[in-house]
Copies of this chain bind each other. A is one copy, B any other.
């Protein structure tokens, strides 16, 4: 006998969305993925897109929906105001904002704001991944969520103490396409392999520089002129430099700590950051990013009373 869906969980980003139907116990019953992220939804309407996916999944009309991601931004469906850190993770999730004028109970998880004069920062979506990353309730934990804008989060006794953003993925794309390094990397660099000696050497070198990346960028160009560095290897150098620099910088800011770093990532990024964290001498606990966001959404549904707290099993 198949279980009935208790809630629909939606990760709604800038360019894509994912919808899961989950039962009372948090078990996935059905899933859909679409390219209709924030940008598409601004034109076609958030409700239209969501209802389309729910209908395709055969979701009941009254099924409640919990959402995280850019759908909750000022340019989104409804602005779910930022929660200021420090804040307990449970309290963050519990503050989901209800979308008005809908037949369903639809709520959007708020993002986080760090209102420090010298390190202002924001996140939206990653707070839900964080909640689903299986952190122990106690102790000091560092979480690394790599991506276009990598987030590092310091969690102390179940509360977000602080966080930072390193735009590593964006720097790679922008420099590869628009800086002088485009001559070094070529038109379409191959994906970088974590065991590339170029990735490893430049990562190691960046780790030794405490987050100073800009002094090494032009050396990739010079290595092409002086050492006949090939385009795919140049891409590995740039990747190693930027990822190593990010880790060195985050380590400098937050310290290494006793517990392993929780690396919340999938696919190629998980391998590259795993290798780089290893080079940095940091122990790692790997968490699949897709599973983390889904588990975080289920937890958010529980915190908002949309499903019962009893059946805890993901």
Contacts and interface: CB of A to CB of B under 8 A. Distances in A.
Max count, chain B CB within 10 A of own CB: residue among A212, A221, A226, A253? A212
A273 B168 CA distance: 27
Interface string A208-228: 011111111111011101110
A244 B120 CA distance: 19
Contacts of A164: 215
Given A211-B214, A214-B245, A219 B120 contact: yes
B226 A120 contact: yes
Contacts of A242: 214
A214 B168 CA distance: 8
A50 interface: no
Interface stretch (A34-42, A131-139, A170-178): A170-178
A28 interface: no
Contacts of A223: 120
A205 interface: yes
Nearest to A165: B218
Interface stretch (A55-63, A96-104, A111-119): A111-119
B113 A212 contact: no
Contacts of A118: 205
B219 A211 contact: no
A12 interface: no
Contacts of A249: 212, 214-215
A211 to B, nearest CB: 3
Contacts of A82: 226
Given A120-B219, A175-B174, A225-B122, A213 B213 contact: yes
A226 B174 CA distance: 25
A82 B223 CA distance: 14
A177 B170 CA distance: 13
Contacts of A253: 215
Interface of A: 82, 113-115, 118-122, 149, 164-168, 170-171, 174-175, 177-180, 205, 209-219, 221-223, 225-227, 242, 245-246, 248-250, 252-253
